[in-house]
Amino acid sequence: MGEPAEGPIGSTTSPTPGREACPAQAGIAPTEFRNSQLKRTMSITYLSLGSNLGDREKNINAAIEQLRSLGTLKAVSSHYETAPQGGLSRSWYINCVARLDTTLSPQELLDNIHAIEQNLGRVRAERFGPRTIDIDILMYDDEILNEPDLTIPHPRLHERAFVMIPLLEIAPSLTHPILKRNLFELLTLLPPQSVQKIN
């Protein structure tokens, strides 16, 4: 994957009042940020990454490198080429799933993910539209969370083969905390979808 990206990510805009600034917004070096969080409990998260604009492989790999500043990247799945779903985009995606162990809260993790997406040129113009990079939080430990801007587990996790297949590759023993079924069971319930492993 190469050496981790150096320095802070994203913009330097002010954080939302009452919410701890993410490293990208606060201008904190990743190592300093991690050291300030040592007293927190480490959580296991699974993230989905996708790109269908520009150099898709380069976008995915750049996002993976920047995720390293948010915790410990424990695993990254193979890359898969998948057909677009919904929206007007006709460009195929490259998708993968990563496990990130982090001390960030779910909301802090989301803020940092948005900073990475912005840093890599993501423009939120159309739902399901083309994008340079898309990063979703699939699971955060076994937490169940329903907030206006964040739902965990991801509400469509179990409907998407392009998420389920790479997730099953790196975490075969996972069980959906709401549906109470393992990944293999959920995958067998899906209709055929075009997902092709490319590496």
Q: List residues with catalytic annotation.
A: 122, 131, 134, 136
CA angle 124, 107, 68 (to 5 degrees): 80
- Distance separating alpha carbons of residues 45 and 37, to the nearest angstrom: 16
Identify the DSSP state of 172: T
Give the Å distances, CA to CA, from 185 to 152, 177, 190, 194: 20, 14, 9, 19
Residue 104 and residue 37 in contact, taking contact as beta carbons nearer than 8 Å: yes
**Residue bearing tokens 């007293």:** 39
- Residue 44 has which token pair? 């296991």
